[in-house]
Structure 1
Amino acid sequence: MTENAADQARDRLDILAGDWDTTIIMLDPDGNEGAVSKAVDRYDWMPGGFFLRHDVDAEMEGQLLQSMEIIALARDGEGYETRSYDPDGTINDFSARLDGRQWRIVGAVQRFAGVFSADGMELSGEWEQKDGETWRRLMRVDLKKRPDTAPRSLGNPARRHNIATDIEPKSS
C-alpha cells in the first residue's frame, strides 16, 4: 500500500471521529427486543494520526461498563484491524472494512454490520454472536454523532501537528 493510499484509508475513518450518543437494544435469539441501554462512544485520533482510539462508557442493566478499542490499518492493506479491551480483562481482535457507508467488523465470536447515514451523523447496525457454529443476533445499536464534536481528526498528515506545542496546524 502506498503512503497516499494509507493516508486515504485513515482519512475514511474520520467519519467515526467525535462523540456519539448510543442506544443499545438487546435482542433474544429470535430477534425480539429486550433491555434498552445507553452509551457514549468517543472516537479520537491518537497523536501522530495513525491509530483511532474508541472509548465506550455504557450503562447496561444498571451496570457501568467501560471499554477501549484501538483501530489501525490492516497490515495487509486491506481494511482495518481492531483490538478491544473489556472491563473483565477480555481482549478481542477484529478485522473491519469501511465500504462506502457500510461499516463491518468481524471477530472470532462477534461481528457487526452497520450503515452510516448519508451525512455521516448516524450509524445503525446489529451485532451478532457465534453460538457453536451458528451466528445469533445479539444487539441493535443506533449511534448519533454530537454535531459539536465532528470531526476531531489528526488522521490526514496535512492536519497532523505536535500537540505538545500547538493545538492547530500552523499556516505557512
Structure 2
Amino acid sequence: MEKKSNDQTVAQATNSNTGVRSLELLIGTWQLGGDASGTVRYEWLEGGFFMLQHVDMKLFGNHIVCVEVIGHMKPFGQEADEQIRSKVYDNAGNTLDYVYELEGNTLTIWGGEKGSPAFFSGTFSEDGNYNSGAWVYPGGGYQSTMQKIQ
C-alpha cells in the first residue's frame, strides 16, 4: 500500500467541501503555557477531511490525556454541516463536544454549541507560531498560551 505524504492528504481535502482547512495553521506540535503545561499535536487524518489533536497536559494538578477529532459532521446520506465540530475523548472517560471558528487571527472554540458561555478565545501572532488567550466557563477559566515547537 502506497503511503501518502501529508501534502497529498491536504491536497485531496482542498477539492472537498471541508472548511476545516481554515485550521491548517494548527498543524504541528505546540508547547502549552499560562495555567496549563504540556503539549498538543495537530495532524491531518488521511483524506484531509478531519484533523486530529493529541493532548498531554497538566491543568490545576490534573494530568489530562485526550484525543480530539475535528471536522464537519456528515451523517449518512446528508450534506456536511457548515460548522467545524469536534469530539474529545479523555483519560477520565469524558466525551466533550466543541465548535471551532477562526476569524482573522482569532481562534474561538465553543464548548458544546456556538454561543455557549464556555469557550476559548485566543489570538495568533502574525507569523502564526504563537497563540495567547483564555478558556472562560461559568464559575471559572484559565489563561492559555501555545508556542509552535515543530
Q: What TM-score, normalized to structure 1?
A: 0.66
- Decide whether the 8 Å contact of 1:126 with 1:137 is kept in 2: no
Aligned to 1:106: 110
Q: Superposition pairs for residues 128-167 of structure 1, below 5 Å?
A: 128-130=136-138, 136-146=139-149, 149=150
Aligned to 1:71: 70
How far has the Cα of 1:73 moved from its partner? 2.8
Q: Is 1:22 aligned to 2:25, yes or no? A: no
Q: Is 1:40 aligned to 2:39, yes or no? A: yes
| Runs (5+) with no aligned partner, structure 2 | 1-13, 74-79
Which one of 17, 29, 39 corresponds to residue 6 of structure 1?
17
Q: Is 1:88 aligned to 2:92, yes or no? A: yes
2:119 is matched by which residue type in structure 1?
Answer: R
| Runs (5+) with no aligned partner, structure 1 | 26-36, 131-135, 150-172
Q: What TM-score, normalized to structure 2?
A: 0.75
Mark the structure with the bigger radius of gyration.
1
Flag the structure with more relative contact order, 1 or 2, with Cα contacts below 8 A and sequence separation at least 6: 1
- Decide whether the 8 Å contact of 2:108 with 2:120 is kept in 1: yes
Aligned to 1:123: 131
How far has the Cα of 1:64 moved from its partner? 2.9
Distance 1:89 1:24 in 2: 25
What percentage of residue pairs aligned between the two structures are identical? 28
- Secondary structure of the 1:12 match is helix
Q: Superposition pairs for residues 44-63 of structure 1, below 5 Å?
A: 44-61=43-60, 63=62
Distance 2:108 2:48 in 1: 22
The ranges of structure 1 where at least 4 consecutive aligned residues each deviate by more than 6 angstroms after the TM superposition are none
Structure 1 pair 126/60, CA: closer, same or farther in 2 (3 Å)?
Answer: closer
* Matched positions, count: 127
